[in-house]
């Protein structure tokens, strides 16, 4: 019996799932995200390749923002890889057929925060479409080289996984343009291939460098017996290790360059006990040491590029911590000038246009620079929004401000909207170093807390940007404080006075960080084996706080009770206090019981705002080579946990966020995408909504008053989805219907929040503004391809105010009514566009009806139009005065249009008949009549204007001047605007009288004369109708 | 009984295979042409006069498109009594926009004319595309405002690159992205099509278009194979 019930229940479930419409991001069709940037501070660039033949088609690969393409040398860029993994390691273009482009995912600048790739992609149409062509498990790809003589031959250098041993590393070769791959150089499962060069004159000569490296969460090692420099004479079938003149092994990472114009000349930066630059002039058989300047030896694992000018073997470029160039083959180096502005340090990519070697593109940790003088000076391209945020926060100002910390690039703030849109000038840097958490003080709009790496936290005055260091210091007898690279600074969700910061201990301040109270013991595992950071780096010491471990990584105060605080550590502890920090319980074993691995980073904790018992947490285990998405939920205050799973999930988890209003609505940000559920986690879907499919979503906020979803992405800057209320209100009942016209909230009457400032954008990146007029919203179960869709708005009396073309997309549609009537009929013709024909008065507050017509079906909703709450000066009385004046002018336009129509009709009649008139006398009469009409017409509207720059004002233009001003302003008309109406009314009356007088004088005479000529038949009715004029 | 069961199972299997089987490019094109009225009808299409209105903030702007297959196209646009037009033929092109202060028709640059030559095909770029020398490729499926569409890439003989998105529910083209390179700059134009209606003569046309100007172009009248005076393709101003 029990089994039967289960079977029946399962059947029911199946049938239910068949008949139900599925909720996906398409359901919320028009809810499209804005990309706010910043462009003024960009992000890490990992690869740059240009099309040699035109020098202006350039592909930019970024660390977490995908591939961007320009076809105009950098004036504008478009993302071309937004459906795939956004971490880019290498790009190659087949220069014989530049439509063929290869992209290797997974950057190879192996820092702690590096992201992970999923293989190699190919486009055969210059980036419009991509196909995955293998190497799926390589995780990191550092270089792709195409045989210049036979583009079917491709080499791919794959350092391979950073966080685990793997056989999927080494040098790969394809001889069939990427269809099949063979691994042609493999050392062992912890040494991959870092660099490769081929001799363009004899492509069977191949050079490659191998690299042994490994990270653990708490230590990095570059170097080992697996590293080496190799040469093949047979396209990679056999290899010989090159050693003569190179330093003694072990090596670390070796950067290699071949001089394209003199291919026996090689350069190599060899990381070793004595890192330096080595050159060879005999194809690598013998080497000698050259420069060992700081820029050559700097961080070899991170700065792995050295390049030679394509035409000049002596001109060598070393983009690294700074930009250096040599004119003597690498013996001595110059540094680039700072003239024209600071050039971002930390460089990873360089493209030299081989047809114009003065033109260089440089990829840094802060974006792309262009040089037109061989690298001496640089121009920053401010239009690539690929910054890597770790966290974001918002305040309660209007417009609210968005705060966030950028990898390599400090802490920033920008308003969520701004006149002209959120552009480069909207963003301001407020704190230096690498940026992570930035928290606005919820009670003091002039203060924010920001940090640099390793817990270097400051209180920032947002007016002056002066800072006070507020990092807690160790006490007598205490162990050294351990601060995570990305130290949590968190303000209280229940008590807004609380400010928390975590080392291995949790601290709380209630006076803006001036005084701190330690409210926990060491909450980590305090495993000493994981605290040897001073040994980190391998052959080159590298201890920048990035490997600090056994630290608190995330802190969350319950929105319902300030005494309930969760703290998660980077070594797997999830700690809870119910008494404001007096006592702590470690929940690590509880979540592990749900199948979440121990020792994972607890990447975020979300205590529910709806119940003290509910808590969500995300866990990130990628530093142990495990990329699974771990999301845990507890409904008993952390005692037991369930692992929330979905086939949709990709990427390790960074952030879980519960909606502020609807407890079933949750958002999950991972290394590869944003996911949402509207049913409490039973069904998840990937949020697209103009968000790159695999965006690296590190943090998520929901604004409590605007209902915006704010994303901190690690590679695409700040992304905002304006107003997610449709996600809260969509019920199953609604989505099953074909069409639903939503009950609209009252619409505020406004032209929008901002003026336009009078000038268009002159470049840079602009994320625009949210719509500041409320939309009319409706739901369509499917796209409407047959039948018309439109919206009609009726006023309280039932009169049609305007018909608006409506969108037809599947899911939620949003149509913006300009809140105006239909424009007047304006006197037609003349030599000038009269903009009154496009402008109508704004309607008055009141009750209106919206009718949505879909094919032959009609849906109707009442809507209330109300005054603009943001503009108290524009009162109802003022609106009525404006409407009255606007309508008087509207009627004047229509009155004048009637006169002009009449003149036009009579002139047409005369023109049509003149050729057929035989009598000279009659001809003269017709011409005379026409002349009088034209004289009048020329006084009523501009007819002579010779150019856009020669103004001609006649009666129509005079009316338009004041009509467009009155209609456009959000203010009552001025005394002189009102007076002007009277003046113009008289002029229009005069025009009517003149027209009547001319017709009285000529029309009957003309009619009689034409009747005599036998021409009147066709025009009899017209003429008779015109008699009255 | 057993046979029936097996038969049913086989049928079920067949149906599910049918349902999931990927369609080839030619099958999709075949269905798209059928949805447009059929191959024969399209082949018989020699000229079209399409009339409609653009709604700009409530102002109705009359638009008239006169096209003769592979010979020429003229768009007339009358804004508040001021007549503007643009003409394109295989070897010449003219633009006359007095609303922008233009006094006489100005010639279109030759590379624009050359690149656009294949747009004068009014029968459908997909019809007999091989004979026409176009390259057509089914790229896969792609999302158009929430509708998963067939994505078809066309490179015409004249080098014009178009991506067509076909709704699998009815095989109508609902979106078209055209990439042009004339004038030394790469540009993309996106157009969408809806309100497909079958006319009494059997032709099926979209009666709503976007991307041809501001807002929606609503078609009110389509004349199939009217006589078109060749002089309309010569500038009068």
Contacts of A947 in chain B (CB under 8 A): 101
Pull the structure tokens for residue A988.
């229009």
Closest chain B C-alpha to A1026 CA, distance in angstroms: 21
Q: Tell me if chain A has a CB within 8 Å of the CB of B146.
A: yes
If you write DSSP's letter for every residue of A199-243 in order, what string do you get? -SSSTT-EEEEEEEEEEETTEEEE-BTT-EEEEESSTTSS-EE--
Distance CA A845, CA B125 (A): 51
Distances (CA, A) of A313 to A258, A263, A266, A277, A374: 9, 9, 10, 15, 14
What's the CATH number where A269 sits? 2.130.10.10
pLDDT tens, position by position, A187-230: 999 999 999 999 999 999 999 999 999 999 999 999 999 999 99
- Predicted local confidence at residue A717, as pLDDT: 98
Number of domains present in the structure of chain A: 3
- Closest listed residue to residue A115, CA positions, set A715, A966, A708: A715
Q: How many residues does chain A have?
A: 1029
- Predicted local confidence at residue A1017, as pLDDT: 64
Contact at CB, B172 and A829, closer than 8 angstroms: no
Four-residue CA torsion sign, A919, A922, A928, A934: negative
- Closest listed residue to residue A898, CA positions, set A822, A967, A995, A963: A995
In a domain, A824, yes or no: yes
Domain hosting residue A1018, numbered range: 876-1026
Pull the structure tokens for residue A809.
């997309």
Pull the structure tokens for residue A565.
């605080």
User: To probe the interface with B, which of A692, A785, A901 has the most B CB atoms within 10 Å?
Assistant: A785
In DSSP terms, A778 is beta-bridged to A741, A813
Domain boundary among the residues A345, A380, A415 is at A380
DSSP 8-state symbol, A139: -
Contact at CB, B218 and A833, closer than 8 angstroms: no
- Closest listed residue to residue A41, CA positions, set A323, A429, A303: A429
DSSP 8-state symbol, A124: S
- Predicted local confidence at residue A950, as pLDDT: 72
Same-domain check for residues A860 and A888? no
- What SS3 state is found at A839? coil
The residues, any chain, with a CB within 8 Å of residue B22's CB and separated by 6 or more, are: none
Same-domain check for residues A862 and A881? no
Same-domain check for residues A190 and A309? yes
Same-domain check for residues A289 and A188? yes
Interface of A with B in 917-956 (CB under 8 A): 945-949
Q: How far apart are the first and last CA of chain B?
A: 82
Rg (CA), chain B: 21
Same-domain check for residues A216 and A352? yes
Same-domain check for residues A815 and A934? no
Q: Tell me if chain A has a CB within 8 Å of the CB of B178.
A: no
Q: Tell me if chain A has a CB within 8 Å of the CB of B9.
A: no
Distances (CA, A) of A377 to A337, A339, A374, A1019: 5, 6, 8, 77
Same-domain check for residues A329 and A195? yes
Mean pLDDT by 10 residues, chain A (1029 residues): 36 37 85 96 98 97 98 97 98 98 98 97 97 98 98 98 98 98 98 98 98 96 97 98 97 97 97 96 97 89 97 97 96 93 95 98 98 97 98 97 98 97 97 97 98 97 98 95 98 98 98 98 97 90 91 98 98 98 98 96 98 98 97 98 98 98 97 97 95 98 97 98 92 90 92 87 93 92 93 97 94 94 94 90 97 96 95 96 98 98 96 92 95 97 78 94 97 98 98 97 92 72 43
Contacts of B195 in chain A (CB under 8 A): 784-789
Q: What is the dihedral of CA A689, A693, A696, A700, to 10 degrees?
A: 30
- Predicted local confidence at residue B150, as pLDDT: 97
Question: Do A534 and A220 touch, CB atoms closer than 8 A?
Answer: no
Same-domain check for residues A848 and A902? no
Distances (CA, A) of A324 to A304, A350, A380, A438, B160: 14, 12, 17, 34, 44
Q: Is A579 exposed, middle or buried (0-12, 13-18, 19+ CB in 10 A)?
A: exposed
Q: Tell me if chain A has a CB within 8 Å of the CB of B205.
A: no
In DSSP terms, B50 is beta-bridged to B65, B222
Distance CA A765, CA A773 (A): 24
- Widest pairwise Cα distance in chain A: 122
Contact at CB, B101 and A947, closer than 8 angstroms: yes
Contact at CB, B98 and A831, closer than 8 angstroms: yes
Backbone φ and ψ for A33, nearest 5 degrees, come out as -75, 155
Distance CA B212, CA B219 (A): 12
Distance CA B144, CA B167 (A): 9
Same-domain check for residues A376 and A259? yes
Q: How many CB atoms lie within 10 A of CB A733?
A: 8
- What SS3 state is found at A388? strand
Contact at CB, A805 and B196, closer than 8 angstroms: no
Residue A829: which of B81, B103, B197 has the nearest Cβ? Answer: B81
Closest chain A C-alpha to B3 CA, distance in angstroms: 25
Contacts of A829 in chain B (CB under 8 A): 80-82
Determine the residue of chain A that is closest to B143 in CA distance.
A26
Closest chain A C-alpha to B201 CA, distance in angstroms: 17
**What domains are there in chain B, each with its CATH number?**
23-233 (2.50.20)
Distance CA A315, CA A323 (A): 13
Determine the residue of chain A that is closest to B59 in CA distance.
A838
Rg (CA), chain A: 35
3-state helix, strand, coil in chain B (%, to 5): 25, 45, 30
In a domain, A880, yes or no: yes
Contact at CB, A833 and B207, closer than 8 angstroms: no
Residuewise pLDDT in 10s, chain B (237 residues): 444 444 444 444 444 444 445 789 999 999 999 999 999 999 999 999 999 999 888 888 999 999 999 999 999 999 988 999 999 999 999 999 988 878 899 999 999 999 989 999 999 999 999 999 999 999 999 999 989 999 999 999 988 999 999 999 999 999 999 999 888 889 999 999 999 999 999 999 999 999 988 889 999 999 999 999 999 999 987
Same-domain check for residues A802 and A884? no
Distances (CA, A) of A801 to A818, A850, B115: 11, 10, 44
- Widest pairwise Cα distance in chain B: 85
Contacts of A834 in chain B (CB under 8 A): 80
Same-domain check for residues A819 and A963? no
In a domain, A335, yes or no: yes
User: To probe the interface with B, which of A808, A893, A957 has the most B CB atoms within 10 Å?
Assistant: A808
Residue A786: which of B56, B80, B197 has the nearest Cβ? Answer: B197
Residue B59: which of A688, A808, A838 has the nearest Cβ? Answer: A838
Contact at CB, A833 and B153, closer than 8 angstroms: no
Determine the residue of chain B that is closest to A839 in CA distance.
B57
Contacts of A823 in chain B (CB under 8 A): 57-59
Q: Tell me if chain B has a CB within 8 Å of the CB of A100.
A: no
Residue B186: which of A25, A71, A822 has the nearest Cβ? Answer: A71
If you write DSSP's letter for every residue of A459-521 in order, what string do you get? EEETTT--EEE----PPTTPPPP---TT--EEE-SS-TT-EEEESSSEEEESSTTSS-EE--S
In a domain, A778, yes or no: yes
Q: Where are the beta strands (DSSP E) in A732-845?
A: 739-741, 747-748, 776-780, 789-794, 800-805, 811-815
In a domain, A659, yes or no: no
- Predicted local confidence at residue A952, as pLDDT: 87
Determine the residue of chain A that is closest to B167 in CA distance.
A785
- What SS3 state is found at A757? coil
Distance CA A117, CA A144 (A): 14
In a domain, A323, yes or no: yes
What's the CATH number where A789 sits? 2.60.40.1930
In a domain, A1006, yes or no: yes
In a domain, A131, yes or no: no
Domain boundary among the residues A323, A347, A380 is at A380
Q: What is the dihedral of CA A741, A742, A746, A750, to 10 degrees?
A: -60
Domain boundary among the residues A365, A380, A395 is at A380
Contacts of A830 in chain B (CB under 8 A): 81-82
Contact at CB, B146 and A128, closer than 8 angstroms: no
> What value of ipTM does the predicted structure carry?
0.90
Backbone φ and ψ for A1024, nearest 5 degrees, come out as -65, -40
Question: Do A790 and A903 touch, CB atoms closer than 8 A?
Answer: no
Determine the residue of chain B that is closest to A27 in CA distance.
B146
Closest chain A C-alpha to B81 CA, distance in angstroms: 4
Q: Is A188 exposed, middle or buried (0-12, 13-18, 19+ CB in 10 A)?
A: middle
Same-domain check for residues A326 and A269? yes
CA A473-A477-A478 angle, 5° bins: 50
């Amino acid at each position: 019996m029990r089994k039967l019930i289960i079977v029946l229940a399962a059947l029911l479930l199946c049938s239910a799932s068949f008949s139900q419409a599925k909720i996906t991001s398409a359901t919320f069709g028009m809810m499209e995200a804005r990309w706010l940037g910043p462009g003024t501070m960009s992000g890490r660039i990992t690869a740059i390749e240009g099309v040699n033949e035109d020098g202006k088609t350039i592909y930019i690969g970024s660390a977490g923002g995908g591939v961007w393409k320009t076809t105009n040398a950098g004036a504008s860029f478009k993302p071309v890889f937004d459906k795939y993994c956004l971490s880019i390691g290498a790009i190659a273009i087949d220069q014989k057929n530049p439509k063929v482009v290869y992209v290797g995912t997974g950057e190879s600048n192996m820092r702690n925060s590096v992201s992970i790739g999923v293989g190699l992609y190919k486009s055969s149409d210059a980036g419009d479409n991509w196909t995955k062509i293998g190497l799926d498990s390589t995780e990191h790809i550092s270089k792709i080289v195409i045989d210049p003589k036979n583009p079917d031959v491709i080499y791919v250098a794959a350092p391979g996984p950073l966080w685990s041993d793997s056989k999927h590393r080494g040098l790969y070769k394809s001889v069939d343009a990427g269809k099949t791959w063979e691994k042609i150089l493999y050392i062992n499962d912890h040494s991959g291939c870092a660099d490769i060069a081929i001799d363009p004159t004899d492509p069977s000569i191949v050079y490659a460098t191998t690299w042994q490296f490994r990270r653990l969460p708490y230590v990095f090692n570059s170097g080992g017996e697996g590293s080496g420099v190799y040469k093949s004479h047979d396209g990679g079938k056999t290899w010989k290790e090159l050693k003569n003149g190179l330093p003694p092994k072990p090596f670390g990472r070796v950067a290699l360059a071949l001089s394209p114009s003199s291919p026996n000349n090689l350069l190599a930066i060899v990381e070793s006990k004595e890192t330096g630059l080595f050159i060879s002039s005999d194809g690598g058989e013998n080497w000698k040491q050259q420069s060992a300047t700081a820029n050559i030896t700097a961080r070899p694992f991170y700065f792995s590029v050295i390049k030679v000018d394509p035409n000049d073997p002596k001109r060598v470029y070393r983009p690294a911590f700074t930009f250096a160039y040599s004119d003597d083959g690498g013996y001595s180096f110059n540094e680039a000038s700072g003239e024209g502005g600071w050039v971002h340090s930390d460089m990873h990519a360089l493209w030299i246009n081989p047809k114009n070697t003065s033109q260089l593109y440089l990829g840094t940790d802060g974006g792309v620079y262009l040089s037109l003088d061989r690298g001496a000076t640089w121009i920053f391209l401010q239009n690539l929004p690929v910054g890597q945020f770790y966290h974001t926060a918002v305040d309660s100002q209007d417009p609210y401000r968005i705060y966030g910390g950028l990898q390599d690039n400090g802490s920033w703030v920008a308003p969520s909207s701004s006149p002209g849109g959120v552009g480069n000038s909207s963003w301001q840097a407020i704190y230096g170093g690498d940026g992570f958490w930035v928290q606005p003080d919820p009670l003091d709009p002039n203060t924010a807390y920001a940090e640099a790496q390793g817990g270097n936290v400051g209180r920032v005055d947002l007016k002056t940007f002066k800072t006070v260091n507020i990092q807690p210091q160790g006490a007598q007898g205490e162990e050294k404080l351990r601060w995570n690279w990305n130290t949590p600074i968190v303000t209280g969700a229940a008590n807004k006075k609380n400010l928390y910061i975590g080392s291995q201990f949790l601290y709380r301040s209630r006076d803006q960080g001036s005084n701190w109270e330690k409210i926990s013991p060491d909450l980590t595992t305090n495993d000493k084996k994981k605290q040897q950071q001073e040994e980190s780096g391998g052959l080159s010491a590298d201890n920048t706080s990035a490997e600090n471990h056994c630290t608190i990584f995330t802190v969350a105060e319950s929105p319902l009770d300030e005494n309930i605080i969760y703290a998660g550590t980077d070594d797997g502890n999830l700690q809870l206090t119910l008494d404001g920090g007096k006592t702590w319980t470690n929940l690590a074993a509880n979540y592990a019981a749900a199948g979440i691995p121990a020792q994972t980073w607890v990447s975020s904790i979300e205590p529910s705002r709806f119940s003290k018992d509910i808590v969500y947490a995300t866990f990130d285990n990628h530093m142990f080579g495990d990329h699974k998405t771990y999301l845990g939920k507890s409904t008993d205050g952390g005692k037991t946990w369930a692992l929330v799973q979905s086939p949709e999930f990709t990427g390790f988890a960074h952030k879980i966020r519960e909606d502020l209003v609807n407890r079933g609505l949750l958002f999950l940000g991972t290394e590869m995408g944003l996911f949402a559920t509207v049913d409490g986690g039973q069904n998840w879907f990937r949020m697209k909504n103009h968000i790159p499919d695999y965006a690296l979503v590190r943090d998520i906020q929901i604004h409590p008053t605007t209902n915006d979803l704010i994303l901190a992405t690690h590679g695409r800057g700040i992304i905002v989805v304006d107003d997610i209320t449709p996600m809260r209100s969509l019920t199953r009942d609604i989505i099953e219907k074909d069409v639903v016209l939503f009950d609209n909230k009252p619409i505020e009457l406004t032209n929008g929040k901002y003026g336009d400032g009078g000038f268009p954008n002159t470049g840079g990146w602009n994320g625009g503004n949210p719509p500041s007029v409320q939309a009319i919203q409706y739901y369509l179960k499917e796209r409407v391809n047959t039948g018309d869709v439109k919206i009609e708005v009726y006023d309280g009396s039932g009169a049609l105010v305007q018909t608006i073309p409506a969108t037809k997309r599947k899911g939620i549609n949003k149509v913006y009514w300009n809140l105006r009537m239909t424009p007047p009929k304006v006197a037609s013709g003349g030599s000038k566009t009269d903009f009154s024909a496009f402008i109508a008065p704004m309607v008055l507050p009141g009750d209106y009806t919206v009718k949505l017509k879909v094919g032959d079906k009609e849906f109707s909703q009442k809507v209330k139009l109300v005054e603009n709450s943001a503009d108290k000066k524009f009162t109802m009385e003022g609106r009525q005065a404006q409407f009255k004046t606007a309508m008087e002018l509207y009627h004047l336009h229509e009155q004048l249009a009637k006169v002009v129509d009449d003149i036009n009709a009579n002139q047409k009649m005369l023109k049509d008949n003149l050729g057929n008139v035989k009598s000279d006398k009659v001809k003269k009469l017709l011409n005379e009549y026409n002349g009088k009409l034209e004289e009048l017409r020329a006084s009523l509207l501009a007819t002579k204007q010779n150019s856009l720059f020669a103004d001609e004002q006649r009666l129509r233009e005079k009316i338009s001047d004041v009509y467009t001003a009155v209609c456009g302003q959000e203010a009552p008309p001025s005394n002189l605007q009102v007076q002007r109406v009277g003046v113009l009314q008289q002029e229009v009356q005069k025009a009517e009288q003149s027209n009547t007088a001319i017709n009285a004088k000529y029309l009957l005479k003309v009619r009689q004369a034409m009747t005599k000529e036998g021409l009147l038949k066709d025009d009899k009715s017209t003429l008779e109708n015109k008699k009255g004029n | 009984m057993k046979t029936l069961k097996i038969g049913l199972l086989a049928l079920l299997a067949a149906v599910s295979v049918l349902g999931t089987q990927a369609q080839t490019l030619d099958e999709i094109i075949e269905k798209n042409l059928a949805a447009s009225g059929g191959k024969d009808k399209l082949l018989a299409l020699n000229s079209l006069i399409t009339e409609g209105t653009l709604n700009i903030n409530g102002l109705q702007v009359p638009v008239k498109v006169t096209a003769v297959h592979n010979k020429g196209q003229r768009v007339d646009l009358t804004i508040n009594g001021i007549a503007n037009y643009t003409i394109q033929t295989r070897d010449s092109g003219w633009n006359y926009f007095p609303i922008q202060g233009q006094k006489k028709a100005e010639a279109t640059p030759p590379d624009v004319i050359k690149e656009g030559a294949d747009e004068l095909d009014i029968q459908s770029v997909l019809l007999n595309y091989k004979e026409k020398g176009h390259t057509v490729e089914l790229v896969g499926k792609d999302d158009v405002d929430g509708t998963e569409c067939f994505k078809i890439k066309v490179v015409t003989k004249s080098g014009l690159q178009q991506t067509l998105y076909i709704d699998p529910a009815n095989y109508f083209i609902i979106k078209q992205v055209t990439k042009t390179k004339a004038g030394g700059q790469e540009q993309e134009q996106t157009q969408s099509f809806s309100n497909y209606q079958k006319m009494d003569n059997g032709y099926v046309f979209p009666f709503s278009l976007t991307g041809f100007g501001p807002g929606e172009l609503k078609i009110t009248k389509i004349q199939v194979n009217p006589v078109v005076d060749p002089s309309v393709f010569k500038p009068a101003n």
